[in-house]
Amino acid sequence: MKNSNRVIVSRRDRPAKEPLSRELIVQTAYELLKEQGMKGMSMRKIAKELDTGPSSLYVYVNNLEDLNSYVQDFGLGCLILPDAENGSWKERLFGALTAYFLLLVEQPGLAEISFSTIPKGDKYMELIEYILAALLEGGAGSKSAAWGTDLMLLYVTSLAYEKHSWKKHDAAKLSDIKQAFSNADSVRFPFIHSLSEELFSGDTVVMERFRWGLEVLLQGIKLDPINNRQT
Amino acid sequence: MKNSNRVIVSRRDRPAKEPLSRELIVQTAYELLKEQGMKGMSMRKIAKELDTGPSSLYVYVNNLEDLNSYVQDFGLGCLILPDAENGSWKERLFGALTAYFLLLVEQPGLAEISFSTIPKGDKYMELIEYILAALLEGGAGSKSAAWGTDLMLLYVTSLAYEKHSWKKHDAAKLSDIKQAFSNADSVRFPFIHSLSEELFSGDTVVMERFRWGLEVLLQGIKLDPINNRQT
DNA sequence: AGTTCTTTACGAACAGTGTTCGTTATGATA
DNA sequence: TATCATAACGAACACTGTTCGTAAAGAACT
């Protein structure tokens, strides 16, 4: 209609543009996610990157939420779990969780996306299986192992996301909050006042605090508070 | 200009409309948050509810992030901490965290907002102070108490948010995932396969699982894995 | 070859979003 | 009564996810 006799010439610099595919879309999306976080991974920006319109993507992907799942899977592809033959069960457990945590910290977009997306990819199931196995080998009961796996993964994801979320805010506001804590009314909030250092020390020694949390969780799980609860 | 001789008649049904104020905005926003979650708490919807334009709100609030903080504080106003005189330190600790958890579960919007917003209100500081005090009374060291407080609050918020996030997805997709777990390849994922019941049981017995997690955390914190770490 | 049919591509539009700007109205003070 | 800071707000900007109708390209079949 409006431009019937238009020249059908490729609108892109590169001569033969790679045809669209879900793989290509996911890769491009992940690239944007790494660079600019979830905010930069919009349908329109992905489409622009692929030199097409946003509607073209919907051939290969149902909606953004779907794409999020695929991208999460794709990102988890970089996760390398420790060899299941070597080391004690605890070393393997901590090794896997640390690898997962480091990946989320290095790619904060992945941490971001992992919170709003229910993981259902193969790689994530491998991770669950790996941790379940380690906990069971460590002597945990069925329920403790299952709930403990959930708990540990929740911990890792939350901590990584929290770390990212705090980093997003400008340093100015952050030090404002620190000040609010150390300047806390020592009458109403005596403990916050005196422990403000410790409350924020986790910010600088991330890995130490992470490791501490793992240790806490593991010790608690091993005690199995369901079976031998001490009121 | 364009409509100079317009009739200056109140565009609203109610005759004398309450003048704007931050309080009123926050209240209205919280009402929307309770009804429709964060998605329903947009500047435009709040403005519409107050029968005005979105730009009017910016007199009393810097931006949406700011408003989120205020709304979070406002919502936390409903939190009732157990009387600090009665009961053991553990009863008070669990009482406070349970009250917080129940509030977040009853008002999922609050859980949602608590994740994207750094808490800096008075009410939240009261909560921190309360838990710090309980842990210290329970015999935790400075660092354990501080990091333990963070850990327990992170746990409560994350679990409440996770619960909400899962509920948002239609039941169809959710049972799909459950199926994916119980149908998991029993060769690649033997443990997931055999423990799929336990992995999902937390969905139905929320409070039991919540309580279990608290117990796990507390046991782990009490052991203070920093000072007596057993490699 | 010509015709049909399905898949892929994509421009335009819809209904939203947060935020800013410039102008108007209001109420208190000088 | 005149002045002036503040409050209110319409319009616009630059975004967002998603849908719809149409156009092109290929494959399959007559």
Q: For the segment B64-90, what is each residue's pLDDT rounded down to a tens digit? A: 999 999 999 999 999 999 999 999 999
Assess whether A112 and A216 both reside in one domain.
yes
Q: Which residues are CB-contacts of A49 (< 8 A; sequence separation ≥ 6)?
A: A28, A31, A32
User: Which of B131, B140, B164, B158 is closest to B213 using CA atoms?
Assistant: B158
**Residue B11 falls within a domain, yes or no?**
no
B chain contacts of residue A143, beta-carbon cutoff 8 Å = 198, 201
Q: Given an 8 Å threshold on Cβ–Cβ distance, is A229 in contact with B221? A: no
Q: Given an 8 Å threshold on Cβ–Cβ distance, is A216 in contact with B217? A: yes
Q: Given an 8 Å threshold on Cβ–Cβ distance, is B177 in contact with A209? A: no
Q: What's the mean pLDDT in B30-48? A: 96
Question: A144: distance to nearest CA of chain B, Å?
Answer: 9
Tokens of residue A163, six digits: 């770390």
**Residue A31 falls within a domain, yes or no?**
yes
Compute how many other C-beta atoms are within 10 angstroms of the C-beta atom of residue A91.
13
The pair phi, psi for residue B159, each rounded to 5°, is -65, -45
Angle between helices B64-76 and B108-116 (to 10 degrees): 130
What is the Cα–Cα distance from A103 to B223, expressed in whole angstroms? Answer: 29
Please give the share of chain B, as a percent, with pLDDT higher than 90.
69
Contact A49, A100 (CB under 8 A): no
Assess whether A142 and A186 both reside in one domain.
yes
pLDDT tens profile A120-173: 889 999 999 999 999 999 999 999 999 999 999 999 999 999 888 887 776 767
Residue A155 burial by Cβ neighbours in a 10 Å radius (0-12, 13-18, 19+): buried
Tokens of residue B74, six digits: 């406002």
Assess whether A46 and A139 both reside in one domain.
no
Assess whether B109 and B52 both reside in one domain.
no
Assess whether A39 and A109 both reside in one domain.
no
**Residue A21 falls within a domain, yes or no?**
yes
Amino acid at position B47, single letter: A
Assess whether B127 and B51 both reside in one domain.
no
Contact A128, A149 (CB under 8 A): yes
**Residue B213 falls within a domain, yes or no?**
yes
User: Is residue B199 helix, strand or coil?
Assistant: helix
Assess whether B132 and B208 both reside in one domain.
yes
User: Which of A207, A227, A205 is closest to A215 using CA atoms?
Assistant: A207
pLDDT value at A195 more than 70: yes
**Residue B228 falls within a domain, yes or no?**
no
pLDDT value at A18 more than 80: no
Assess whether B122 and B217 both reside in one domain.
yes
Q: What's the mean pLDDT in B173-183? A: 80
**Residue A198 falls within a domain, yes or no?**
yes
User: Any idea which of A122-126, A192-196, B129-133, B175-179 has the lowest mean pLDDT?
Assistant: B175-179
Assess whether B54 and B155 both reside in one domain.
no
Domain extent at residue A103: 89-223
Assess whether A23 and A122 both reside in one domain.
no
Number of structural domains, chain A?
2
User: Any idea which of A2-16, A110-124, B117-131 has the lowest mean pLDDT?
Assistant: A2-16
pLDDT value at B230 more than 70: no
